[in-house]
Amino acid sequence: MAEGRVDWAASLVEELRKNFLKGKTRSYEWRVGQMRRLIQMIEERESEIMQALSDDLCKSQIESFIQEISMAKESCKLVIKELKRWMKPEKAKTGLTTFPSSAEIVSEPVGVVLVISAWNYPFVLSLDPVIGAISAGNAVVLKPSEISPATSSLFAKILPEYVDTSVVRVVEGSVGETTALLEQQWDKIHYTGNSKVARIVMTAAAKHLTPVVLELGGKSPVIVDSNVNLEVAAKRITVGKWGSNNGQACIAPDYVITPKSFAPKLVDALKSTLEEFYGKDPSESKDLSRIVNSNHFKRLTNLLDDEKVSDKIVYGGQRDEKHLYIAPTILLDAPEDSLIMKEEIFGPLMCIVTVDKVEDSFDVINSKAKPLAAYLFTKDKKLEKMFVSSISAGGMLINDTTLHFANPTLPFGGVGESGIGSYHGKFSFDAFSHKKGVLYRTFGGEASARYPPFTPRKQRVLRALLTGDFVGLILNLIGWSKA
């Protein structure tokens, strides 16, 4: 069966490469046409998309629309609006060594690409990189996550009805199918998920020297200064954590750092906000997603059942395995060696870490792997500047959480353990393009000094040219020397 999968995958890639080489994906008209068809798909199948997201994650319709459907649609619209400008060759400067000449940078598609998407935002995290790959003129295979089976099945059903299937395909399956796909030679692989699988993807890609974009995660911190508007800060942290797929988001706040003296006020504000948003019994709220499956439910309950944090829960902690429900939970000062402080949470649990003074937060963050996102709430401009300059993270946001993901003019990607490469907007186009440098010359402008035999005079001319000694160059060209 494994051999059969590999043969099937090889045949698929060969077919797509043959169709790609025919050149149809390179035209502006084809690329924009695919964007219009994707918009049509999103509009016509919105109710089916929402149902799939509800089946997979119990997402509310408004969360599905705001965080997945509308964002994918806006990505298509941005391509339609900007693609002609993105595709236009970029003029480049030339120097005296190539005079007379002109130069430009041409964006060309890399070829046949593989997109392996994630389960937590299974619609937008599947479609957004595909939009980038198509906008850059590539053939593409989408492998949706089997952990969100309803959305995966929906893509397999509806995407072929709207896109050019000679160069855009959907492949369903699990580990076997993904492994077979990774055996093939791609021109780029875009993977969204966890660092464990990312290492497998990168190892497979290395066999063919295939470049990768890895969108991973990590423990995204939030620093809360004591001078903030507490009501606003609590709302923005709450919606960024529990309003983002109930914490199952790569950029959701993982833990909060705040001064010890301010922690009680922050805890009370978060409790009040959670009750305002989701009621006294959040299990009855229609605005709170559920845990994706029983494996992740067990993983999260293991974090809570760690004896090192049993007395650290200050809010929530309730769970219902039958309905894959874990209440929004806040822990205060969980030990650094506890599981919940060592592992990425990716769920509705959030730790609050206290420090003596807010500046100590930087040492806490820098002692861990570089996160995908880092957040700061403060009115202190000096602290803002220190935060931006001293913390390394994929992206940052001051006085809010998660919204930077929605800004297409910013690159979205990680650093270190949180990822390699970036995308969104033009950065998606660039991620799936090769920037080809082109130098143009005529048959004029011959310089005898570049050709052997290299006489002493030619050597002086070349040395003067390459060291920028323009006076010496002119003197040597007219037969004089500095001496």
58: annotated active-site residue: no
Highest-pLDDT range among 260-264, 447-451, 470-474 = 260-264
pLDDT at 448: 87
% of the chain surpassing 70 pLDDT: 99
Quickly count: other Cβ atoms within 10 Å of residue 84's Cβ.
Answer: 11
Q: 9 burial class (0-12, 13-18, 19+ CB within 10 angstroms)?
A: buried
Peptide bond into 100 cis (omega under 30): yes
pLDDT for the residue 482: 65
Q: Which of 58, 68, 76, 215 is catalytic?
A: 215
Predicted confidence band of residue 1 (pLDDT cuts 50, 70, 90) = low
- Residue 68's contacts (CB-CB under 8 Å, 6 or more residues apart) are 49, 53, 59, 121, 123, 124
What confidence tens digit (pLDDT) does each residue in 375-393 have? 999 999 999 999 999 999 9
More confident residue, 445 or 360: 360
Kindly report the pTM of this predicted structure: 0.94
Residue 416 in tokens: 């270190």
Average pLDDT, the chain: 95
Alpha helices in 284-328 (DSSP H): 294-305
Question: What pLDDT score was predicted for residue 468?
Answer: 81
For residue 357, how far is the Cα from the chain centroid?
Answer: 32
pLDDT tens track for 56-99? 999 999 999 999 999 999 999 999 999 999 999 999 999 888 88
| Model confidence band, residue 10 (pLDDT cutoffs 50, 70, 90) | very high
Among residues 250, 344, 351, 417, the one annotated as catalytic is 250
Which among 431, 425, 480 is positioned nearest to 457, based on CA atoms? 480
Question: Which of the four pLDDT bands, split at 50, 70 and 90, describes residue 462?
Answer: confident
In angstroms, the CA 198 to CA 429 distance is 22
Interval 122-151 mean pLDDT: 98
CA–centroid distance for 8 within its chain: 29
pLDDT digits (tens, 9 = 90+) for 350-379: 999 999 999 999 999 999 999 999 999 999
pLDDT for the residue 466: 85
Which residues fall within 8 angstroms of residue 160, CB to CB, at 6 or more apart? 169, 170
Q: How much is the average pLDDT of 134-141? A: 98
Structure tokens at 391: 């913390």
Which pLDDT score, from 0 to 100, does residue 457 have?
86
| Closest to 400 (Cα-Cα) out of 371, 373, 375 | 375
Q: Reply yes or no on whether the pLDDT at 333 is more than 80.
A: yes
250 noted as active-site residue:
yes
- Distances 478 to 89, 210, 278, 456 between C-alpha atoms, Å: 39, 52, 84, 14
Strands annotated E in 316-450? 319-320, 325-326, 329-332, 349-355, 373-377, 395-398, 412-413, 419-420, 422-423, 433-440
DSSP classification of residue 336: T
* 181-229 pLDDT per residue, tens: 999 999 999 999 999 999 999 999 999 999 999 999 999 999 999 999 9
